[in-house]
Amino acid sequence: MQALDRALATALPAVPRPLVRRFADRYMAGETLDDALALVAALNAEGIRGTLDVLGESVTSPGQADATEREYRRALEALAERRLDSGISIKLSALGLEFDAGVAERHLRAVVECANAHGRFVRIDMEDSRLTDATLGMYRRLRADGHDDVGIVLQAYLRRSLADVHALADLAPSVRLVKGIYVEPRRIAYRDMEIVNRNFTFLLDVLMSQGSYVGIATHDERLVWEALRLVDRHGLDRDRYEFQMLLGVDEELRNILRDAGHRVRVYVPFGEAWYAYSLRRLKENPAIAGYVARDVLGSMIHRRR
């Protein structure tokens, strides 16, 4: 099955754009802010929170970074106007980090100031390991300047993540804990999925012990079970953690967690850069490529019946 998933991921650039869009539609809100706002409103009506993400990363020009900042500011204003329960998630490469760290930090601060004005939370996403130090540095500087409604992401497959958890302990940070999907060399990242899963649980335990608010970002029910075990062991109140899931993935598990009274948040990506986003995500994680392809095929067969 893994070989088939890798073959599907490798073949994706040759797949016609409309077919890739069929793969992507379930996993993104659409191309416009209005699409995303409507989806967040629908999630809120189901008792689920949202996190908006403007698609587009690794920008190469100041103009693109400016446009990303403007779109995030527009999104924050619209969320406040419509009184929707959603924050935002932002990748620093979308603000220019890969060509000018100073430009990226200036844009990030502008977005954070806008979010503060509207009472909204900003999650700084984590990208590949080349950008980890710069991302953590910007996060720490924002916190030092009194911006407490800002969180960070840590990746369980990175060998450095335990050291990062300890280094951030003085901030009691809000952390979204993920497995990690970028392709990294073995010296940087664990490749054995059993080790990644065990490290996820280990890091979650340490974060809870240190008083962090944790966004438990997984669709793996084994890790959900481990998280619930740790929540019980640490005696955490329901306002000290939440489960976070991708749009369109395992909605049944999402609803089970919600119905049990746990906070649940769904990541809602939108924007015109959907095609590059879809190819990159599916190529980075062949298992998702196979999952999506089988899901779409199953839907097609069901409709024909």
Whether 36 and 15 map to the same domain: the answer is no
Judge whether 90 and 54 are in contact, CB under 8 Å: yes
What is the chain's mean pLDDT, rounded? 90
Judge whether 47 and 88 are in contact, CB under 8 Å: no
Q: Which residue has the higher pLDDT, 276 or 255?
A: 255
Percent of the chain with pLDDT over 90: 77
Q: Is the pLDDT of residue 252 over 80?
A: yes
pLDDT grade, residue 273 (50/70/90)? confident
Instruction: Report residue 258 as tokens.
Output: 């919600």
- Phi/psi of residue 124, nearest 5 degrees: -85, 115
Lowest mean pLDDT among 90-104, 106-120, 197-211, 274-288: 274-288
Tell me how long the chain is: 305
Percent of the chain with pLDDT over 70: 83
Whether 136 and 283 map to the same domain: the answer is no
CATH number at 41 reads: 3.20.20.220
What pLDDT is stored for residue 36 in this prediction?
97
C-alpha closest to that of 265 among 34, 28, 30, 44: 44
Could you read off the pLDDT of 119-170 as tens digits, one per residue?
999 999 999 999 999 999 999 999 999 999 999 999 999 999 999 999 999 9
What pLDDT is stored for residue 148 in this prediction?
96
pLDDT grade, residue 300 (50/70/90)? very low
- Residue 154 gets which letter from DSSP? E
C-alpha closest to that of 120 among 81, 80, 163: 80
Q: Is the pLDDT of residue 293 over 60?
A: no
Q: Which residue has the higher pLDDT, 253 or 277?
A: 253
How far is residue 226 CA from its own chain's centroid?
20
Instruction: Report residue 6 as tokens.
Output: 């890798």
Whether 23 and 35 map to the same domain: the answer is no
34-59 mean pLDDT: 96
Could you read off the pLDDT of 231-244 as tens digits, one per residue?
999 999 999 999 99
Q: Is the pLDDT of residue 280 over 90?
A: no
Whether 237 and 285 map to the same domain: the answer is no
* Alpha carbon distance 197, 156 (integer Å): 8
The HSE-up count of residue 255 (CA atoms within 13 Å, CB side) is 8
Q: Is the pLDDT of residue 301 over 70?
A: no
Whether 251 and 286 map to the same domain: the answer is no
Lowest mean pLDDT among 159-168, 258-267, 279-288: 279-288
SS3 151: strand
E strand or H helix that includes residue 9: helix 2-11
Whether 178 and 296 map to the same domain: the answer is no
Whether 239 and 277 map to the same domain: the answer is no
Q: Side chain identity at 267, as an amino acid letter?
A: Y
* Alpha carbon distance 239, 106 (integer Å): 32
Instruction: Report residue 211 as tokens.
Output: 């008083």
* Alpha carbon distance 177, 265 (integer Å): 13
Contacts of 163 (CB under 8 A, 6+ apart): none
Whether 255 and 283 map to the same domain: the answer is no
Whether 232 and 181 map to the same domain: the answer is yes
* Total of domains in the chain: 2
Whether 260 and 231 map to the same domain: the answer is yes
Query: Domain range holding 222?
Result: 30-270
Whether 146 and 198 map to the same domain: the answer is yes
pLDDT grade, residue 274 (50/70/90)? confident
Could you read off the pLDDT of 70-83 as tens digits, one per residue?
999 999 999 999 99
C-alpha closest to that of 175 among 125, 209, 128, 227: 125
User: Which residues form the catalytic set?
Assistant: 125, 176
Whether 74 and 96 map to the same domain: the answer is yes
What pLDDT is stored for residue 10 in this prediction?
58
Q: Is the pLDDT of residue 27 over 90?
A: no
Q: Side chain identity at 88, as an amino acid letter?
A: I
